[in-house]
Structure 1
Amino acid sequence: MLQTTTMRGKMKQFAIILIPILITQLALSAISFFDTNMSGRFSSVDLAGVAIATSLWLPVQTGLSGILIGITPIVSQLMGRREEAEVPYQVNQALWLSAALALIVIGAGYAIVPSILNSMRLEPEVHRVVIEYLTAISFGIIPLFAYTVLRSFIDALGQTRTSMIITLISLPVNVVLNAMFIYGLWFFPRLGGVGAGVASAITYWIVLMITILIVHRVHPFSDFGMFRKLSKASLSAWKGIMKIGVPIGFSIFFETAVFAAVTLLMSSFNTMTIAAHQAAMNFASTLYMLPLSICMSLTIVVGFEAGSGRMKDARQYAKLGIGLAVLLSLATAIILLVAGRQVAGLYSSEPEVIALIQQFLLFAIFFQISDAIATPTQGALRGYKDVNVAFVLAFLSYWVIGLPVGYVLANFTELEAFGYWIGLITGLAVGATLMLLRLVKVQRKFEREASGTNTSQG
């Protein structure tokens, strides 16, 4: 990270950080796509098993990963304050915390998941795929969480290109391993959908080993001597990380869980409607990579500037990121208005389904415009380490307003399935407005504190 004095310099610096993060997020989405696609080609039973398993695993993974990425604003602000010597200790503590969380998840999974699956009354073969997939992937939870910490450290230094390279390496590795274990290529066992879980677990270990090697040997990461002197686990240090990370993790969990809930509630509609909803949601999730990547970038740059006491620069980065997200959302809105039918045609060849997908995509326009404001604003707030209010607003947006309003509109009006989308749009729009107001308040607070510090020093 470098200090910038002009808006042009900030735009260049922001692009250097943002573009690799965007490519990384798209690559991660591709890994999930290949898991589902390759399992589906094996059999519909394996596709169903992997889909159910990932729907159980994904909210847990993203929520707990959110706790661990709390290290990003901590490291960014330490770097901004020129307190580099404190960084290895904080990252080491985050690694200890990641191991503890992984063991808790594994233990809870073995205790709770069988009861959940028994209550779902799945076909025996689907039940088997779900259990064996989750068992396989459990062997990769420890390296996945440790990698999340190290990636957050790398990104906090502004070296997002390194994270991008690691993720791009992991994509073909995962695809090859999928082919080996799903289809039984060469002398490997033919495991079907369970093979996707085995491949993911092995991929997580390979990625962690690559990341450790880079952090240990490649400049500027090697300068920190991250593994030369490992500190003992400290509950007080964990408390500091979790104070930032837990609200972030719950915010992410609430968001991913509400979409899983909507998908379950949509099961009361016909197959065509469910398919169209899933297709539109899949495309909206792809578009979400834009504001999400901007969100992650803003956490880094705002955290660096806030830690340095340059509040004007922090505010300019926030305006730049949110403005860029809104512009991109308007551009994608135009594309959906003009080429919505062509986009829908990517998901189906049936005219009725295409028409229905196109209708859902019109709602996706308003959804992603609200996302373009809410998500980057959350990223800026994380840069200031202001996470508790954003967590409450995320819960309010999705679970207090979005889902109840959607349920009422879907079940007691003629809107039917579209009612869920309108509910989520309503909740997200309210949340985006409140988060913007919170950001303005936080910025003013930090600027007053910085002004007071400068005055006392003068």
Structure 2
Amino acid sequence: MKQTYSLKEKGKQLLVIFLPILVTQLALSSMMFFDTVMSGNASAVDLAGVAIGSSIWSPVATGITGIMLAVTPIVSHFIGGGRRDKVPFAVIQGVYLAIVISLLIILGGALALQPILHRMELEPAVRDIASGYLFALAFSIIPLFVYTVFRCFIDALGQTRVTMIITLISLPINITLNYMLIFGKFGFPRLGGVGAGVASAITYWCIAIIALFVLCRVEPFAEFGLLKRLFPVSLSAWREQLKLGIPIGLAIFFETSVFAAVTLLMSQFNTVTIAAHQTALNFASVLYMLPLSISMALTITVGFEVGAKRFRDAQQYGHLGIGMALGMAVCCGVGLLLCNQQVAHLYTKDPAVFELAKQFLVYAIFFQLSDAIATPVQGGLRGYKDVNVAFFVAFCSYWVIGLPLGHLLASYTSFAAFGYWIGLIVGLACGATGLLVRLRRVQRKSMAVNEYLVA
């Protein structure tokens, strides 16, 4: 990261940070995609087991990862404020906290997993695969969350291209291990869906080890000497990270879990409707990587400027990020409107599912427009270390407005399954409005404080 002096320079720096993040997010999400697709090629039972396991693990993983994301604004503020000596301590405390949280998750999973699976009334074979898949993933929890801390440190320095390269190196490792362990190739046992979990666990260990090597040997990371000093545990540092991270994690959890809830509620409709819904939701999730990546880039750039007390520059980055996200959303919306038949054909050849999926994809356009505001604004607020209101807005927009309204529309109107999408679109639009108002207030307050200090 470096100081910029014009909108053109800011736009260029934001783009340089954003593009590698986008590639990284797409690569990370594709790991779960390959787990599912390759397991499906093993058998329908393996596919069902991995799908159930993923649906249990994903909300937990994204929520806990949100807690680790607090390292980014913390480090960005230190770098922007010229306090580089504080960075190693903050990162190592983040690693300690990641390990403790990982152990708690493993313990909680050991106690709760089997009761959860038995309540789901699954076929015994599907339950066994889901259980084995999650058991294998348990061995990857510590390296996954520790790597997240490393990634936040790397990204906070503006070196997002490095995390992109690490992730791209790990992707073929994951695919190769899936091939060997799911299908039993090259002398390895055929583990089916459980093999996908083992492959992911090994891959996450590889990612963490590669990242650790980069931090110790590659500049500008090596100059911080992260492992040269063994810092004692600091509960005050943990408290600071949790104060930022828990609202971030809960906001992400509420967002991911509401879509899981909608999918479960969709079970009241026929198989064709459920398949069409999943098609549109999956494609919308891919498009969501655009505003999400911009959001992460804004946390870095805004945090850097706020740390340096350059609040006008932070405000300009916020406007650039939201404008960029809206422009991309409009382009994606127009493209989706014109090419929804082609998109639907990517997922299914079934005529009934195809026709219904085209209609769901139209609703996905409105998702993109609201996400283009709400998601970057959240990233900007994290750069200001303002996270509590965003958490409250996320909860209300999805669980107080979106899901109840969707259930009413789906159950008592002719919208049927589309009612859930309408409800979530309305909730997301309300959330985007609330978050935008909050960002404006935070920006104005920061500017006012800055002008007071200057005077």
Q: For 1:143-158, list aligned pairs within 5 A.
A: 143-158=143-158
Structure 1 distance, partners of 2:283, 2:196, is 23
1:99 Cα deviation from its structure 2 partner: 0.2
Structure 1 distance, partners of 2:352, 2:103, is 48
Higher mean displacement: 334-343 or 247-256: 334-343
1:14 and 2:14 matched: yes
Map of 2:415 onto structure 1: 415
Q: For 1:65-80, list aligned pairs within 5 A.
A: 65-80=65-80
1:324 Cα deviation from its structure 2 partner: 0.6
1:351 and 2:313 matched: no
Which SS does the other structure have where 1:82 is aligned? Answer: coil
Structure 2 distance, partners of 1:25, 1:127, is 30
Map of 2:364 onto structure 1: 364
Map of 1:2 onto structure 2: 2
Map of 1:176 onto structure 2: 176
Paired amino acid for 2:57: W
Paired amino acid for 2:217: R
Which SS does the other structure have where 2:347 is aligned? Answer: coil
Structure 2 distance, partners of 1:86, 1:350, is 58
Map of 1:235 onto structure 2: 235
Map of 2:291 onto structure 1: 291
Map of 1:82 onto structure 2: 82
Structure 2 distance, partners of 1:229, 1:450, is 36
Map of 2:426 onto structure 1: 426
Paired amino acid for 1:285: S
Paired amino acid for 2:245: G
TM-score, with structure 1 as normaliser? 0.99
Q: For 1:12-91, list aligned pairs within 5 A.
A: 12-91=12-91
Structure 1 distance, partners of 2:302, 2:105, is 32
Which SS does the other structure have where 2:219 is aligned? Answer: coil
Paired amino acid for 1:245: G
Query: What does the per-residue CA deviation read over 1:47-91, in whole Å, with 9 as the maximum and x for residues that have no partner?
Result: 000000010000000000000010000000110000000000000
Structure 1 distance, partners of 2:232, 2:50, is 38
Structure 2 distance, partners of 1:121, 1:15, is 48
Structure 2 distance, partners of 1:438, 1:33, is 35
1:351 Cα deviation from its structure 2 partner: 2.2
Structure 2 distance, partners of 1:403, 1:299, is 28
Structure 1 distance, partners of 2:299, 2:388, is 15
Map of 1:331 onto structure 2: 331
1:355 Cα deviation from its structure 2 partner: 1.2
Map of 1:125 onto structure 2: 125
Structure 1 distance, partners of 2:284, 2:364, is 6
Structure 2 distance, partners of 1:236, 1:10, is 34
1:121 Cα deviation from its structure 2 partner: 1.2
Structure 2 distance, partners of 1:340, 1:204, is 35
Which SS does the other structure have where 1:162 is aligned? Answer: helix
Percent identical residues: 58
Paired amino acid for 2:169: I
1:317 and 2:317 matched: yes
Structure 2 distance, partners of 1:161, 1:423, is 38
Structure 1 distance, partners of 2:340, 2:237, is 50
Q: For 1:142-221, list aligned pairs within 5 A.
A: 142-221=142-221
Structure 2 distance, partners of 1:349, 1:179, is 26
1:113 and 2:103 matched: no
Map of 1:378 onto structure 2: 378
Structure 2 distance, partners of 1:127, 1:38, is 18
Runs of 4+ displaced beyond 4 Å: none
Structure 1 distance, partners of 2:67, 2:22, is 21
Map of 1:440 onto structure 2: 440
1:353 Cα deviation from its structure 2 partner: 1.4
Map of 1:264 onto structure 2: 264
Structure 2 distance, partners of 1:120, 1:31, is 25
1:171 Cα deviation from its structure 2 partner: 0.4
Which SS does the other structure have where 1:346 is aligned? Answer: helix
Which SS does the other structure have where 1:231 is aligned? Answer: coil
- Unaligned stretches of 5+ residues in structure 1: none
1:230 Cα deviation from its structure 2 partner: 2.0
Query: What does the per-residue CA deviation read over 1:253-307, in whole Å, with 9 as the maximum and x for residues that have no partner?
Result: 0000000000000011000000000000000000000000000000000000111
Paired amino acid for 1:374: A
Aligned length in residues: 455
1:242 Cα deviation from its structure 2 partner: 0.6
Structure 1 distance, partners of 2:441, 2:233, is 36
1:350 Cα deviation from its structure 2 partner: 2.0
Structure 2 distance, partners of 1:105, 1:183, is 30
1:352 Cα deviation from its structure 2 partner: 2.0
Query: What does the per-residue CA deviation read over 1:395-438, in whole Å, with 9 as the maximum and x for residues that have no partner?
Result: 00100000000000000101000000000000000000010000
Map of 1:103 onto structure 2: 103
Structure 1 distance, partners of 2:80, 2:320, is 19
Structure 1 distance, partners of 2:127, 2:339, is 40
Structure 2 distance, partners of 1:108, 1:31, is 25
Query: What does the per-residue CA deviation read over 1:310-332, in whole Å, with 9 as the maximum and x for residues that have no partner?
Result: 11110110000000100111001
Paired amino acid for 1:421: W
Structure 2 distance, partners of 1:331, 1:263, is 28
Structure 2 distance, partners of 1:317, 1:236, is 31
Structure 2 distance, partners of 1:92, 1:75, is 12
Paired amino acid for 2:330: L
1:452 Cα deviation from its structure 2 partner: 1.8
Query: What does the per-residue CA deviation read over 1:1-23, in whole Å, with 9 as the maximum and x for residues that have no partner?
Result: 01000111011101110000000
